[in-house]
Amino acid sequence: MLESGGRPGETMSTEQFVRPFESVESAHEFIVLLEANIREAVEEVRGHLLQATAEKDERQVRALHLAIYKLTQLSTQMQKSRRALNDLRTIRRLLFSEREGDEPGEPV
C-alpha cells in the first residue's frame, strides 16, 4: 500500500490514489514520497556502481555514473517543487486567515 507522507502507518485511500493532486497537500505528500524513492534508488545504484567498479566493467561504470547524475538532477527538481508547494500552502493560509478576520462590509 502507499503510505501518505510523514504519518507512519497511514495509507492513502482509494479516492486519494485516484485523484492524487486534488489539493496542494496531496501533491506535497506525493513529492515527499518521490524524494524518498529517489534517495533509495541512488543508494541502490551506488551499490551496483561499487560492484561494477570491482569487476572493472567500464561501460557499466559510466552508465551507473550517468544514472546517479540524472537521479541527482531529479532530486534537485523535487526539492524545488516541494519548496514551491510549501510556499503555496503558506500563501493560502495567509489569504484564508486574513479573510476569516475581515468584517463582512470591509473590502478584501
pLDDT in tens, 58-100: 999 999 999 999 999 999 999 999 999 999 999 999 998 866 6
Q: Is the pLDDT of residue 57 over 80?
A: yes
The model's pTM is 0.68
The pLDDT, as a whole number, for residue 23 is 85
pLDDT of 19 > 90? The answer is no
Residues 22-55 have pLDDT tens digits of 888 889 999 999 999 999 999 999 999 999 999 9
The band of 17, judged by pLDDT with boundaries at 50, 70 and 90, is low
- pLDDT of 11 above 90: no
Tell me the C-alpha distance between 32 and 95, whole Å.
25
59: alpha, beta or left, given left = phi > 0 and alpha = psi -120 to 50?
A: alpha
Residue that wins the pLDDT comparison between 3 and 19: 19
